[in-house]
Amino acid sequence: MTVNNIAFPVVAVQNQNDDSTAFGKWFLRALYPDTLSLKGLIERVAWDQSVYSRDIIEGVIKRVTLVMVEQLQAGQPVKWEGLGTFNPQLDCGKMGKNDRETLVKAGDQAINGVHIRFTPENSKGEELTSKKFGQLCSFEIKGK
């Protein structure tokens, strides 16, 4: 499987915050392009010298997405090898309940929501965090 190393677009920006100790300093920031849609991802996989047709790729990706959502809804963390782990976490607010009985009685009402957290892969030398991932990227400064 060939993975093309496409340039990561960045832009040079100057800190204009008068209250900042870094006022006037220049920094590189990610130049965020439009988010790649599921359709765009499917097209990219199909275009990238795949032996599978677009409809096969679309079916598999859509099914994987559906199953991942079902598993996350059931509280099951999902690890995508080489990428990272999607982990559902409860948001129960900051106040909590005074005792277990009150919490159990509140049931679902004690849950404000569920957040899906993503933890990048960090095993088998495939560390996708910070400096190591940055070393895998090619950067291209855009603009002036």
Q: State the average pLDDT over residues 89-116.
A: 86
Lookup: tokens for 122: 């960090």
Q: Amino acid identity, residue 127?
A: E
Helix, strand, coil percentages in the chain from 3-state DSSP, rounded to 5: 35, 25, 40
Q: Whole-angstrom Cα distance, residue 56 to residue 38?
A: 14
What confidence score (pLDDT) does residue 42 get? 86
Q: State the average pLDDT over residues 110-119.
A: 89
- pTM > 0.75: yes or no: no
Inform me whether the pLDDT recorded for 2 exceeds 50. no
Q: Whole-angstrom Cα distance, residue 42 to residue 22?
A: 42
| Between residues 106 and 69, the one the model is more confident about | 69
